[in-house]
């Protein structure tokens, strides 16, 4: 047992075959909880918050699934060598991580809804998966393990509060292994429906930006990035309506899976559209040219900065794959 490798993110023991050196400077992990990821060997997890990273990888894990030829994996350091690598850095994890109790609950319910195939079925989760699912901190000060009883009390508190909200029911399969069965209750399904109402399930992505001849090439770069990620870009300038907001535009935003806001030109319409999308609970990816100052209310939000328009397709594709898919 002593020589068995462990996943440094979630703490689970791995088989020797699931950890291997990919080069002198990198190491690949195949974890049943966190999915596939690659780290640099000298600065393995650099400045990540390990508790947040554990949940991020679990929720967004790339794993082998029956009938799906999945080649992607998370790269936790910058590497351009492989098609399948999806780069993740600290700011991406932090912008994804839930900020409030209510957001935590919503993310958990959506995860359960996506992973329980038929109504009334249960999902079984190991102790490590449960920690990641419920956003339970495993580490104190980002390195030493937190007291396990403390963690398990938080698990129980959280599960019980979801039961109190009538969102789920659960039972321990075996108390010792801390494996649980979770079922979604009717109120949980209603909440999931409500959350999904505001989330277009299609592949449409609304792009909020300044329209016109001067931004035509910028627009094409954004379109290319969206298409590379497998989505369809929707631009709202077919009709001339610069001076007023159309109901069609709001509908486009409502029907979009997520929204891209290009803020380089400080376009008021783009800020308004972003705000509307955020109010609907949609994810917004902000992009902006390097060095252009953006409005302070949105400046704290993680923004994808670009230097040349020709860089946009690649960086945008990677961001979409890492945060939306
Ligand atoms: Zn793991």
Q: Which CATH number fits the domain that encloses residue 161?
A: 1.10.10.10
Residue 41 forms part of a structural domain = yes
pLDDT tens by residue, the chain, 325 residues: 557 899 999 999 999 989 888 788 889 999 999 999 999 887 788 789 999 999 999 998 988 877 777 778 898 987 666 677 777 888 778 877 888 898 899 899 989 998 998 999 999 999 999 999 999 999 998 889 999 999 999 999 999 999 999 999 999 887 677 899 999 999 999 998 887 765 565 678 999 988 777 888 999 999 999 988 888 888 876 444 444 566 778 878 887 889 999 989 877 888 888 888 888 888 899 999 988 877 766 656 678 999 999 999 999 999 998 888 7
Cα 25 to ligand 1 centroid, rounded to whole Å: 20
Answer yes or no: do 60 and 129 share one domain: no
Residue 11 forms part of a structural domain = no
Cα 118 to ligand 1 centroid, rounded to whole Å: 27
Residue 94 forms part of a structural domain = no
Answer yes or no: do 211 and 291 share one domain: yes
Cα 129 to ligand 1 centroid, rounded to whole Å: 9
Answer yes or no: do 133 and 25 share one domain: no
Answer yes or no: do 176 and 233 share one domain: no
CA–CA separation, 123 vs 112, rounded Å? 8
Residue ending a domain, choose from 67, 89, 111: 89
Answer yes or no: do 116 and 193 share one domain: yes
Residue 42 forms part of a structural domain = yes
Residue 144 lies in domain: 101-197
Answer yes or no: do 72 and 115 share one domain: no
Answer yes or no: do 110 and 62 share one domain: no
Q: Tell if the pTM clears 0.75, that is, is over it.
A: no
Q: How high is the pLDDT of residue 241?
A: 47
Answer yes or no: do 112 and 180 share one domain: yes
Answer yes or no: do 217 and 183 share one domain: no
Q: How high is the pLDDT of residue 157?
A: 95
Q: How high is the pLDDT of residue 139?
A: 94
Residue 251 forms part of a structural domain = yes
Cα 52 to ligand 1 centroid, rounded to whole Å: 12
**Into how many domains does the chain fold?**
3
Cα 170 to ligand 1 centroid, rounded to whole Å: 23
Residue 111 forms part of a structural domain = yes
Residue ending a domain, choose from 177, 197, 217: 197
| Closest to 266 (Cα-Cα) out of 310, 301, 304, 299 | 299
Q: Give whole-number Cα distances, 111 to 101, 117, 129, 150, in Å.
A: 16, 11, 12, 24
Q: How high is the pLDDT of residue 239?
A: 44
Answer yes or no: do 83 and 111 share one domain: no
Q: How high is the pLDDT of residue 299?
A: 58
Residue ending a domain, choose from 182, 197, 212: 197
Q: Which two structure tokens, joined as six digits, stand for 148?
A: 């396990």
Q: What is the 3-state secondary structure (H, E, C) of 181-239?
A: EEEECHHHHHHHHHHHHCCCCCCEEEEECCCCHHHHHHHHHHHHHHHHCCCEEECCCCC
Residue 4 forms part of a structural domain = no
Residue 10 forms part of a structural domain = no
Answer yes or no: do 227 and 176 share one domain: no
Answer yes or no: do 106 and 61 share one domain: no
Q: Per DSSP, what are the bridge partners of residue 65?
A: 68
Cα 29 to ligand 1 centroid, rounded to whole Å: 8
Q: What is the chain's length?
A: 325
Tell me the residues surrounding ligand 1 (ion) with CB < 5 Å.
7, 9-10, 31, 33-34
């Amino acid at each position: 047992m002593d020589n068995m490798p462990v996943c440094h993110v979630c703490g689970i023991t791995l088989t020797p075959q699931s950890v291997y050196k990919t080069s002198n400077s990198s190491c690949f992990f195949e974890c049943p909880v966190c999915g596939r990821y690659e780290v640099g060997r000298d600065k393995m997890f650099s400045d990540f918050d390990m508790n947040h990273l554990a949940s991020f990888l679990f929720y967004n894990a790339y794993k082998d699934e029956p009938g799906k030829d999945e080649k992607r994996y998370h790269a936790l350091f910058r590497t351009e060598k492989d098609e399948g690598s999806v780069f993740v850095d600290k700011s991406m994890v932090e912008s994804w991580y839930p900020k409030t109790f209510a957001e935590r609950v919503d993310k958990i319910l959506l995860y359960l809804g996506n992973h329980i195939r038929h109504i009334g079925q249960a999902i079984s989760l190991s102790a490590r998966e449960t920690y990641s699912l419920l956003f339970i901190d495993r580490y104190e000060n980002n390195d030493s393990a937190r007291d396990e009883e403390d963690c398990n009390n938080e698990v129980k508190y959280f599960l019980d509060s979801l039961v109190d909200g009538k969102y789920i029911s659960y039972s321990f399969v075996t108390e010792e292994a801390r494996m649980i069965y979770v079922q979604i209750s009717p109120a949980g399904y209603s909440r999931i429906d409500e959350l999904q109402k505001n989330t277009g399930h299609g592949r449409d992505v609304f792009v909020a930006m300044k329209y016109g001849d001067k931004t035509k090439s910028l627009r094409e770069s954004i379109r290319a990035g969206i298409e590379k990620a497998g989505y369809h870009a929707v631009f709202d300038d077919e009709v001339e309506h610069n001076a007023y907001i159309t109901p069609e535009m709001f509908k486009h935003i409502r029907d979009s899976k997520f929204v891209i806001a290009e803020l380089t030109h400080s376009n008021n319409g783009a800020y308004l559209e972003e705000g509307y999308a955020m109010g609907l609970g949609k994810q917004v990816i902000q992009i902006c040219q390097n060095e252009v100052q953006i409005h302070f209310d949105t400046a704290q939000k993680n923004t994808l900065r670009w230097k040349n328009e020709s860089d946009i397709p690649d960086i945008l594709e990677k961001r979409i794959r890492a945060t939306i898919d």
